[in-house]
Structure 1
Amino acid sequence: MCISLIVAGYKLSIPFFQINSKLSQTPLVPLNVNSEASQPVNLNVYPEGGLRAWLVAAGTAGVLFCTLGYSNSFGVFQAYYIRNQLRDYDPDDIAWIGAIQVFLVFALGIIGGPVFDRYGAWVIKPAAVVYIVSVMLTASCAAYWQFILVQGILSGVSNSLLMFPAMAATPQYFHKRRGAAMGLAIAGSSLGAIIFPIVLSQLLERVGFAWAVRTCGFIMTPILAFSALTVKARLPPRKSRLFIWTAFKSARYTLLTAGVFFMFMGMFVPLFYLPSYGIFRGMDATMAFYLIALINASSIPGRILPGMLGDRFGSINSLLTAGLFTAIVIFCWPMATTTAAIIVYSLGFGITSGAIISAGSVVFTHCAPEPRDIGTYMGMGIAFAAIAVLVGPPINGALLQRYGGYDQVSVFSGVMCASGVVLAFLAKFNTEEGIWGRV
């Protein structure tokens, strides 16, 4: 036997014999909400699957394919610009283009995540249009300042407003299987970072820079159209403040943010410089461009499996393991001196570093006190960590310019990544499970 209560515009249906216990436990959700999720829902009950949930995950994968997948291909642009349009500029100057782009992708999560929590996934549609325009405009750039404005700033801003609403939508449908779902969705970025470097490496010398980049834009258009139709919010928006600064009162959240910051400082450098390193070691330029595709091909299992293992053994444990192995691999960078060794190195780096993106996103979602705060917690955490992406590659470009080799780059990046591991480990002291717990 059930009864329905209407209280101040809220509806609550509960078994009669459980009225006393459930009234204090079940969140009240408005009946009429101007959002994509117009039906009353229980905030603490997750579908954990179903057609709509997996369509949202697929749509998120599509967004990440076009956004982070394309941004992670900047190593191809770095190597091409050094030899062509921007050959009069130093490597660290050119690295600023990609650094600004990737920084804005992650940093503006501080807006993209909260906007999703407040207003839903509608922001994806206009952001997708602006992003496609930015890619097409990049094809017409020739001067350094044009690349900074278009490929760096415009692409980075629109990229972020696409990526974070999509990434915040998927965790609303999964809890126990969140790591697996997020890993599968984030693997879309790895697939994109396989396809786009191959497309660019095949077309840059054949049809020229402009049409090579435009082809990437044509590939993105139908995929983003699909994502704009499938990514939907499950929960009604929260009506409270846009940002939740009290999140940083949590030592766990703050330490995880700092830990991901230092891991980002180290892990993004090979993505920028491995093609240049290959050419430095005598590798054919076309083959060197393929290194980014190899890294991201191997990062697919690196992004899916840690998410699944994180569901079983804990997302922080997954992040710690990924960061530790990535630091070790970065320290070994200068030891890869032949073409075969560099290829094997790229595959190993892809497996370990791919897990940082996957686990680093999931750890923030588990810090949110309720699911309607997930986008904000994820966006703010990754936004502050993204400062590392802005400064890391140019610092290493300066080291490369000064010393003329990659030993110093390897040591600096490896130490940064290892420092992130220590901070993430300290975060476990501030969990109920403790340092040895599955958290």
Structure 2
Amino acid sequence: MSNPSPHTKAHRQSIALKDKYPSSPPSTDLDTGDNSDKDPNPIATESDPDVLHPEDTTTISPAPDGGPRAWLVAAAAAFTFFCTLGYTNAFGVFEQYYLTSPFSPLHSSSAHSALSSSKIAWIGSLQTFLTFFTGFFAGPLFDRYGAVATVRPGALIFVFAIMMTSLCKQYWQLMLAQGVLGGVAMGLLMFPAMAAVAQWFDKKRAAALGLAVSGSSVGGVVVPIALGRMLNGGSAGGGHLGFGWSVRIIGFMMLPLLVFASLAIKPRLPPRTTDFIVVKALKQKDFVMLVFAIFFLFLGMLTPLFFIPTYAVYRGVDATLASYLLAIVNAASTFGRIIPGVLADRVGKLNMLAVGGVASGISILCFNKAVSTAGLIVYSIFYGFSSGMIISGASAALTVCPRDPRDLGSYIGMGMALGAIAVLIGPPINGKLIDVYGGYLELSIFSGVMCLVGGLVVIATKIMTPQGIFGRV
């Protein structure tokens, strides 16, 4: 038999390449999947900016959905979340220590008598807000320049911020070091890590993101226990090491993890060269609705993380044991991020986020009903699991919006940043409710209702999709 001609070989290779890299944009979870009436060779125009040019698609290979390199990125992302959100989840320990301990760096300040739950909460709320809001720029930066412009400088700045926090003696110093500098650094770390995982996984994306974000739960177990023990343990309640060295040890513990993350996190796809801010995202109804949902979810969800230690002390629990409640919340949150993440790939990412929002709203409405030590422990387990569904579910839900996978970092960063405006105002509002009413009932009602509203907005987003309210979206 004669060998096929070069023309025949080229024709077969062209067919194989077309099958592997179809010229039409990849369908997302919000698409119907019916492409029978679509142009098989769409061309991007100014009136249809979401469609990929056929030449661009040949550079995008399918996500491996596994393998050593992909899971290495997921592990590095988990280390990143261990350091960032794990540190943020420990702010309840800082809140309780700043307000009640005579060894607090603020105790000798002349303004200490004017400190309140609301004023201290501004440090944590600003830190958390800037963490998420920085994603508005960190996501597009990663899409364009990779980890060199985001993860590596973020790791350096974050360790520096922790060391500066350990030296603070005034309220404004803590606001700058712990609130501003720490928040911006964590944003430069978190969102590129999520975008990298989303690039390496497709069918297993929610599970991989859940595994990565679960690192924050492990950090939320280790950091509050270690910090609470170092700050509140020892003779006379002063801690074995004092505030400065307690915080510095946390920084030294995170240093090797961040070095590993800086080396391991890399993008899989070629850089995006279009506009820095993906303006087209703000024109997508599904994306805008998800932003509103995340806003209401974040407005209510963080309340127990900020106030459960002070609430426990209010109910007569020992300060050291009160800090352990945060560890219990985050331990339960580990399962709430991994298990629903695996299920989300099967039943739908929006479905799991809606369930997490409603479940968290119900649990927060019951916050004031946990009055004993045993009741607080059981409550922490239930709340931790339900809130974990929101943390991992929000980022996974945002990945269904972009039509070009090279925009994943921008969509995740922008969505979280806009929704996290609630983080800036939520804790201070709750702190003000405590100061005005002297209890926690009003706080639990406000925060619980906000989470329920967020869950309902996610359901409304599902109704707008072609699959409808009962679809797997």
TM-score of the aligned structures, taking structure 1 as reference length: 0.92
1:74 aligns to what?
91
Q: Percent identity?
A: 47
Partner of 1:85: 105
Are 1:186 and 2:206 counterparts? no
Identify the residue that residue 29 of structure 2 maps to in structure 1: none
- 2:129 alignment partner, one of 100, 103, 108: 103
Partner AA of 2:461 in structure 1: A
Alpha-carbon deviation of 1:326? 0.4
Query: After superposition, what is the alpha-carbon deviation per residue over 1:146-173, rounded to whole angstroms, capped at 9, x for unaligned?
Result: 0000000000011101111111100101
1:202 to 229, 233, 236: 229
2:152 & 2:19 partners in 1: Cα distance?
43
1:232-254 C-alpha deviation (Å, 9 max, x unpaired): 11011010011112212111111
Q: In structure 2, what is the Cα distance between the partners aligned to 1:264 and 1:256?
A: 12
Question: Quick check: which has more Rg, 1 or 2?
Answer: 2
1:275-294 equivalences in 2 (<5 Å): 275-294=309-328
State the Cα RMSD in Å.
2.0
Q: Check conservation: 1:3, 1:14, Cα contact below 8 A.
A: no
Alpha carbons 1:267, 1:326 under 8 Å: kept: yes
**Whole-angstrom CA distance in 2 between matches of 1:13 and 1:285:** 73
Given the alignment, which residue of 377, 380, 383 partners 2:414? 380
Counterpart of 1:31? Answer: none
Q: Which of these residues, 60, 80, 86, is aligned with residue 77 of structure 2?
A: 60
Deviations 1:26-58 (A, max 9, x none): 789xxxxxxxxxxx9752511010000000000
Provide closer, same or farther for how the CA distance between residues 144 and 2 of structure 1 changes in structure 2, counting only shifts above 3 A: farther
Report if aligned partners of 2:138, 2:187 keep a CA contact under 8 Å in 1: yes
Q: Structure 1 runs of 4+ off > 4 angstroms?
A: 1-4, 16-24
Q: Deviations over 1:317-373 (max 9, x none)?
A: 000000111000001111100111011111111000011010001111110111100
Contact 2:301-2:447 at 8 Å conserved across structures? yes
Query: What pairs up with 1:17-416 in 2 under 5 angstroms?
Result: 17=15, 25=23, 42-43=59-60, 45-83=62-100, 84-86=104-106, 87-88=112-113, 89-122=115-148, 123-204=150-231, 205-416=239-450
Match of 1:35 in 2: none
Residues 392-437 of structure 1, C-alpha deviations (whole Å, 9 max, x = no match)? 0000000000000000000000111111011111101221211110
Structure 1 residue runs of 5 or longer lacking an equivalent are 5-11, 29-39
Three-state SS of the structure 1 residue aligned to 2:302 is helix
AA in 1 matched with 2:99: I
**Aligned length in residues:** 421
Which stretch shows the higher mean deviation, 103-112 or 122-131? 122-131
CA distance in 2, matches of 1:251, 1:15: 39
- Supply the AA of the counterpart residue of 1:243: I
Pick closer, same or farther for the CA change 1:14–1:407 going to 2, 3 Å. Answer: farther
Shift of 1:124: 1.1
AA aligned to 1:156 is G
Cα deviation, residue 66, structure 1: 0.5
TM-score (norm 2): 0.86
Asked whether the equivalents of residues 14 and 22 of structure 1 are also in contact (C-alpha less than 8 Å), the reply is no
Residues in 1 aligned to 2:338 and 2:436: alpha-carbon distance in whole angstroms = 38
